Structure 1
Amino acid sequence: MYKSEQLALSLKHLIETGAWKAHEKLPSLRQQVEISGFSLITVMNAYQELEAQGLIYSKEKLGYFVAENPLQAALAKKVIVNEKIEINSLVFRYLKSIQSEKIIPLGSAFPDSQLLYSPKLMQTLAQQAKYRVGYEQMPSLPPGNYELRKLIAQRYCMQGIPTDPSDIVITSGGLDALNLSLRAMTQAGDYILLQETIFYGAWQAAENLGLKVITIPEHPEHGLDIEAFKKAITSYPIKVCLMMLNSHNPIGFTVSDEIKFELAKLLHQHEIYLIEDDVYEELYYDQKRPLSMKYYDQQNLVLHCSSFSKTLGAGFRVGWVYAGKFSEHIQHLQLMSTISVNSFIQNALVDYLSHRHYEKHLKGLRTTLKRLKNQYYQYLSKNLPENCTVHYYPSGYFLWVTLPEEADSSRIYESMIQNNIGIAPSILFYRENKKQNHIRINCSFEMNETIIQALDLMIVQILEIGLRS
């Protein structure tokens, strides 16, 4: 047994027997060196091992502390500590591999462009280009076009969320909104909480900012495991949560209003901020639009981020954040990075939204996505092996597929990309190496012969795994 393991076991015994109480500060690294007689490296490794097990947590410049009601085996399985995130290189290689026009984009994060870029929008852009060239001489600085912010604020008000245009900051897409929000609310070494499986942009942001990530699992029925959430926020000094609760990417679930209400109460009780990634908020299938966490926010603890890129096209990289009291700080950060959002596009969106063309476009888009997703679901459910599960939720355009336990979705992706077919392996969304048997499929493309052949090749790859096992 290594010396660090020996020390970790001794310290773990002190915690589990109650000799060290919840939130009690541990001896500093140098004090522990003097007490134990081990080297500084050995002590450091032992503390890091206990932190990875969820038994202790660290506070920047303050040291290490005992976790509340130290996490036992069941909780250790649920809540995962990610001290160092390394995903940017992986995501870069993946995005480069699927960018060619030859690739069948079943791994794309965006809907089929044929469903977006409505004729009315193109007409509006043409009119803007013809009659309003002068305004481009003056850049649209943060917080962005006032009329556009006013229209977005009105949309919040229609959902029962009192909003002023000053609460809104226009950003260069939804990911820019998330990054700016995290930068405004955290610093290197802070703990943030993510869902165990989540859009890779959240992992990238955590890596870029040097954040420590606590993850909680998805609940098989409710989407969000509220009990794991409670345990995580009482065991670690969580600075901010970043979550996707409506039409979750990649899985697809929408968390119920009851769970959202409970989540809002916990955020208020523990004074924890939430950044809500809600870029798929308009792509619901039912008549009733799902509520955002901002609806339940009575203490200005929620920053709501969204975008037009998933409904109007990837080229419309115009997003926003409902920043509230963080508005000015985010604007300062924006001036040091993206500076401003394209004023031409902002003005075109003002015209387009003002004439309610957007509502008609959204209605048609939802109808088409629902039809296509049902077709993909029926085809995959019928043709995939019985030991595969296709997870269907009534929103968005993704299907999340669970493969046999022995399957490695990264290998399937690598094989598919050699045939110019893109899929999204779970390693992009889930950082625990033990569980990489999932893939995300983009279902927004018409099921023509090319798409069916691509799906059939993927099914063959999965069947071959079953034969080998």
Structure 2
Amino acid sequence: MYKSEKLANNLRLLIENGTWKANEKLPSLRHQAEQSGLSLITVMNAYQELEAQGLIYSKEKSGYFVVAQELSNNEQNQNVTLNPKIEINSTVFQYLKSIQPDHLIPFGTAFPNSQLLYSPKLIQTLGQLARHRLSYEQTPSLPPGHFALRKLIAQRYCMQGIQTDPSDIVITSGGLDALNLSLQAMTKTGDYILLQQTIFYGAWQAAERLGLKVITIPTHPEHGIDLNAFEQAIQKYPIKVCLLMLNCHNPIGFTVKDEIKFQLAKLLHQHEIHLIEDDVYEELYYDQKKPLSMKYFDQQNLVLHCSSFSKTLGAGFRIGWVYAGKFSEHIQHIQLMSTLSVNPFIQNALVEYLSHRHYEKHLKNLRVSLQRSKKQFYQYLKENLPMGCEVEYYPAGYFLWIELPVYIDSTHIYQALLDRNISIAPSILFNANFAKQNNFLRINCSFDFNDRIESALSHVVECIYNAINNNHLR
């Protein structure tokens, strides 16, 4: 046994027998090294091991502290997971590079079928503005963005019962930029943030880039988010901010019910924890009523709401925003040093487009198309996938989340399908812990269900059958 492991075991006993109390500060690294006669590196490794086990937590410039004992039993440790060091960016980069070729059938892309986007009216508006240079050259290009566009976005919030002023809004270069700016404004290196265990890989990339420690909570099979695990996590660790996706979750697809959001808001307010809400799919619901955002339940300005036009109008526009409230100016300062500004020409075109209600008509048609395609994909997969496979279907968005038998690695399915010019998204992209259990995959089902798409789906099914049969032969 290594010296650091022996030290960690000794310190664990002191915690478990109550010698060190909940939230009590541990001896400093230097003091512990002097007491034990071990090197600083050995002591640091021991402390980091205890932190990974959920027994202690660290505060920048303050040291290490004992986690409350009543929240560190085995059952709770299974619900709440500490990810002290994230290393996912290289995996995501290689994946995104692999699915770029035009000849691939893009079941792995995060964007809807482009033929459903790029509204003809918006393209027409862009053409008209391009012929009149003054119409966009005089548009302000610095943060927080075009006032008229921010006003229109603020009006959309007001229609949902969320009182909003244009000064609350900062225009960004897409939804991911909104998330990155918000997270950068709210955290510093070494802070603890909370994520859903399975979530869009951009959240993991941002955590890696900023050097954050990630606490994850599992998906609840009925409610989408596990409130008990959430409460355990915020009591157990000094969470600085949560980043959650609650409407049309990517990759799973669920939308959290309003009563659960209300309970979540109460916990945030009780513990004074901020939430960054990733809501880029907010308009892609199938029911008559648009789901509420967490901003609706926010009474203390703790929620930063991030959204985008990229998933509804086209990836090429890259226009998003963050409802930043009191953090608006701070985010603008960060933006000025990074992305600088958002294309004023596109902002101006969106103002003209949104002002004439073309967007509402476009959204209505888009939802109908996505619902039809998703049902067709779901029906085909339910009828043809082998026993032991489950397909999650939720009435929103354009993703299907497929659970394979536990012994199947979806990365191998992804690689086999690339050889057949088909892309899918393996679950290793969405969960830092899926390296050990990677038996899920996401399929984009926003495409018209024609012979070519059906043939591609048959290859997906065949590769899954092959993986199962090969495993049985071992």
Output the TM-score relative to the length of structure 1: 0.98
1:49 aligns with 2:43: no
Helix, strand or coil: the match of 1:10? Answer: helix
> What's the CA shift for 1:140?
1.4
1:436 aligns with 2:453: no
Quote the Cα distance in structure 2 between the aligned partners of 1:372 and 1:290. Answer: 21
CA contact (8 A) 2:129 2:135 kept: no
Residue 190 (structure 2) aligns with: 189
Alignment of 1:210-289 (within 5 A): 210-289=211-290
Helix, strand or coil: the match of 1:208? Answer: helix
> What's the CA shift for 1:126?
1.4
Helix, strand or coil: the match of 2:352? Answer: helix
Which deviates the most, 77-86 or 198-207?
Answer: 77-86
> What's the CA shift for 1:84?
1.3
> What's the CA shift for 1:146?
0.5
Aligned partner letter, 2:34: E
CA contact (8 A) 1:82 1:212 kept: yes
**Deviation sequence 1:334-364 (CA, Å, 0-9, x none):** 1111111111111111111111010111111
Alignment of 1:265-414 (within 5 A): 265-414=266-415
Quote the Cα distance in structure 2 between the aligned partners of 1:209 and 1:49. Answer: 21
Aligned partner letter, 1:430: N
Residue 61 (structure 1) aligns with: 61
Aligned partner letter, 1:461: C
**Deviation sequence 1:50-74 (CA, Å, 0-9, x none):** 1111111011111100112341111
Aligned partner letter, 1:52: A
Which deviates the most, 245-254 or 31-40?
Answer: 31-40
**Deviation sequence 1:13-55 (CA, Å, 0-9, x none):** 2212222111111111122222333332222121111111111
Quote the Cα distance in structure 2 between the aligned partners of 1:34 and 1:327. Answer: 47
Q: 1:456 aligns with which of 455, 458, 462?
A: 458
Helix, strand or coil: the match of 2:131? Answer: helix
CA contact (8 A) 1:55 1:70 kept: no
**Deviation sequence 1:389-425 (CA, Å, 0-9, x none):** 0001110000000011111111111111122111000
Q: 1:447 aligns with which of 446, 449, 452?
A: 449
Helix, strand or coil: the match of 2:348? Answer: helix
Alignment of 1:20-99 (within 5 A): 20-68=20-68, 69-99=70-100
> What's the CA shift for 1:246?
0.3
RMSD (CA atoms):
1.1
Aligned partner letter, 1:233: I
Which deviates the most, 328-337 or 459-468?
Answer: 459-468
CA contact (8 A) 2:198 2:218 kept: yes
CA contact (8 A) 2:413 2:467 kept: no
Alignment of 1:43-192 (within 5 A): 43-68=43-68, 69-133=70-134, 135-136=136-137, 139-192=140-193
Identity %: 72
Aligned partner letter, 1:85: I
Quote the Cα distance in structure 2 between the aligned partners of 1:137 and 1:88. Answer: 39
Output the TM-score relative to the length of structure 2: 0.97
Quote the Cα distance in structure 2 between the aligned partners of 1:452 and 1:135. Answer: 44
CA contact (8 A) 1:416 1:422 kept: yes
CA contact (8 A) 1:23 1:67 kept: yes
Helix, strand or coil: the match of 2:276? Answer: strand
CA contact (8 A) 2:187 2:240 kept: yes
CA contact (8 A) 2:139 2:146 kept: no
CA contact (8 A) 1:139 1:340 kept: no
> What's the CA shift for 1:150?
0.3
Aligned partner letter, 1:20: W
Question: Mind listing any 5+ residue stretches in structure 2 that lack a counterpart?
Answer: none
Quote the Cα distance in structure 1 between the aligned partners of 2:20 and 2:291. Answer: 45
Quote the Cα distance in structure 2 between the aligned partners of 1:139 and 1:358. Answer: 23
CA contact (8 A) 2:136 2:348 kept: no
Quote the Cα distance in structure 2 between the aligned partners of 1:171 and 1:256. Answer: 28
Distance 1:256 1:138, change over 3 A: closer
Which deviates the most, 140-149 or 7-16?
Answer: 7-16
Equivalenced residues, count:
469
> What's the CA shift for 1:133?
4.1
Helix, strand or coil: the match of 1:43? Answer: helix
Helix, strand or coil: the match of 1:358? Answer: helix
Aligned partner letter, 1:256: K
CA contact (8 A) 1:22 1:70 kept: no
Helix, strand or coil: the match of 2:130? Answer: helix
> What's the CA shift for 1:428?
0.5
CA contact (8 A) 2:86 2:207 kept: yes
Which deviates the most, 60-69 or 239-248?
Answer: 60-69
**Deviation sequence 1:287-312 (CA, Å, 0-9, x none):** 11110000000000000000000000
> What's the CA shift for 1:10?
1.7
1:2 aligns with 2:21: no
Residue 19 (structure 2) aligns with: 19
CA contact (8 A) 1:141 1:340 kept: yes
> What's the CA shift for 1:4?
1.9
Aligned partner letter, 2:174: G
